[in-house]
Chains A and B, each alone.
Chain A
């Protein structure tokens, strides 16, 4: 069987990866081509049409400043997706490094894991808010804050994989016959971390998108002038009882995106680790 047919066969048996990927692709295309898909300038203020409902010219109505909600939601996806992907990338690379070091070095392990435990003892959202409290609000600091929150989860996972791989007879055999450390790392340890870390990366991406919107919603995230989903919802709070769609529209965009990423994560997990798939 060629690799291509194996891949299509796997996808057929795990349709949630396909569904998730399809939704995510659609959202990525919409946000990437935002200037063409948005019907208005997301920043353009029009005091004559404040807080309007759905109409042909404003598909999802307008906000308190007369800005077009559909256009703002389309542009808002850019921030969410950028934060999600950036955090997934940074958190997994740093977490991989920390996990490898503590998996191989006992002294470093003792120190690093205590730090990771301490970081994980503070609820994720609170730690992120606290980090944002001392930093200047920008997309970069949001990415930094959420990365700090997510690194321990990857580090713990990688460490446990390293420890279990080192116990394996074939790795011990390789060490005994004089295989170099770096060769063992490259040939045996890293390939085994690949599957769980990939799955973890998708979950981190979903979590990062959620936390970014929560931070912005609470007023401690991306600067208010950037139209992110959380910011649009935060501005809509005052007018929720007059026009609920100010919050519900970006909220549904957000939920759909997170759902798509989670579906991909679940599907990938089942695909890459059949032993878990049977249990879940």
Chain B
């Protein structure tokens, strides 16, 4: 068990190394001169040269990469070209909304999608099942921003139930904080819900064919007890995997959701940085997101062992 955790931890190092290379390479191997891009259209050749040495771009590529990795390992992500602030501070300021949005979306999704999937499996082949599956296909196809604007149009503009856009800090009170997160979480969660409802239905359906389910039924347990205590725990491994995959999809969706609902989070930060070509910030946010993704996958692999005693490493 311990050696499995150690091996699994070691296996993430090459992945993170490649991520670092990709993130670094995107800026440095791109056609065109980043120094000229950053210096602007009207810069003199001297200004471009000054910018190049300021960014360290006159050093050999491998030395730049080494220096960059070294500072990243020390928690330094560089200085923003646009606002002249450390990238770590910029990221720190934008962390709360993104974390809040991700957590509420995951909670809402799991609380809604798992029961829906279980019911669809229990009532397999009926109209309930078919409508759940149709919803799943629809949920995959409706892009986050289309769902977001549809929700704003119906719930906020037509019915006037919820605020249209914006974000309130948790420090300003829990009520306003939560109210501003309802629509973004629903918009962001819709494809996630489709994914989880579908996989829950599939894996519970598979478990329901097992002998021990028949035994549980014939010893007189109610159907809800069988579903809750016998079927769901045995169907948990694929569901947890997909929740993990879904969180990765969620991270991508955060970028769009924050733009639609004017939430000042990391997603907004990276989009703004791309529009102003603020490369250190882009690199920093990409690294953070990729690190979170790798971390979640690691956690899921470790959870397998806890959830399914049959899995041994």
Contact = CB atoms under 8 A, between A and B. Distances in A.
B208 interface: no
Contacts of A279: 202, 206
A279 to B, nearest CB: 6
Interface residues of B, number: 54
Given A114-B15, A258-B141, A248 B202 contact: no
A133 B274 contact: yes
Given A134-B30, A218-B256, A126 B141 contact: no
B271 A233 contact: no
Interface stretch (B92-100, B105-113, B247-255, B303-311): B247-255
Contact of B255 (A218, A241, A254): A218
Interface string A100-116: 00000000000000110
Nearest to A203: B140
A130 B26 contact: yes
Which size bracket describes the interface of A in this complex?
Answer: 35 or more
A262 B140 contact: yes
B30 A252 contact: no
Interface in A125-175: 125-127, 129-136
A124 interface: yes
B286 A118 contact: no
Interface string B290-308: 1001100000000000000
Given A213-B143, A259-B141, A121 B290 contact: yes
Given A123-B252, A218-B256, A255 B141 contact: yes
B82 to A, nearest CB: 13
A258 B143 contact: yes
B159 interface: no
B212 interface: no
Nearest to A209: B143
A73 to B, nearest CB: 13
Contact of A132 (B140, B149, B150, B274): B274
A240 interface: yes
B252 A124 contact: yes
Contacts of A213: 143
Contact of B274 (A117, A129, A210): A129
Given A219-B271, A259-B138, A125 B256 contact: yes
Contacts of B271: 129, 218-220
A268 interface: no
A263 B137 CA distance: 8
A266 B137 contact: yes
Contacts of B31: 134-135
Interface stretch (B17-25, B47-55, B61-69, B228-236): B17-25
Contacts of B206: 279
B168 interface: no
A119 B22 contact: yes
A122 B286 CA distance: 7
Interface string A235-251: 00000110010011001
B140 A126 contact: no
A219 B256 contact: no
A118 B14 CA distance: 8
Contacts of B202: 279-280
A214 interface: yes
A133 B21 contact: no
Nearest to B273: A133
A279 B256 CA distance: 33
Given A133-B274, A133-B282, A117 B137 contact: no
B259 interface: yes
Contacts of A218: 255-256, 259, 271, 274
26 contacts: A119-B22, A121-B16, A121-B18, A121-B293, A123-B249, A123-B252, A123-B289, A125-B256, A126-B255, A126-B285, A126-B286, A127-B286, A133-B274, A134-B27, A135-B30, A206-B141, A210-B143, A217-B259, A218-B255, A218-B256, A218-B271, A218-B274, A233-B149, A248-B149, A251-B143, A262-B141
The 8 closest A-B pairs by CB, nearest first: A118-B18, A134-B30, A251-B146, A259-B141, A123-B252, A125-B252, A258-B141, A133-B274
Given A118-B21, A254-B146, 17 more contacts: A114-B14, A114-B15, A121-B293, A122-B23, A122-B286, A125-B255, A126-B251, A131-B26, A133-B26, A134-B27, A136-B32, A214-B144, A214-B256, A244-B157, A251-B146, A252-B146, A263-B137
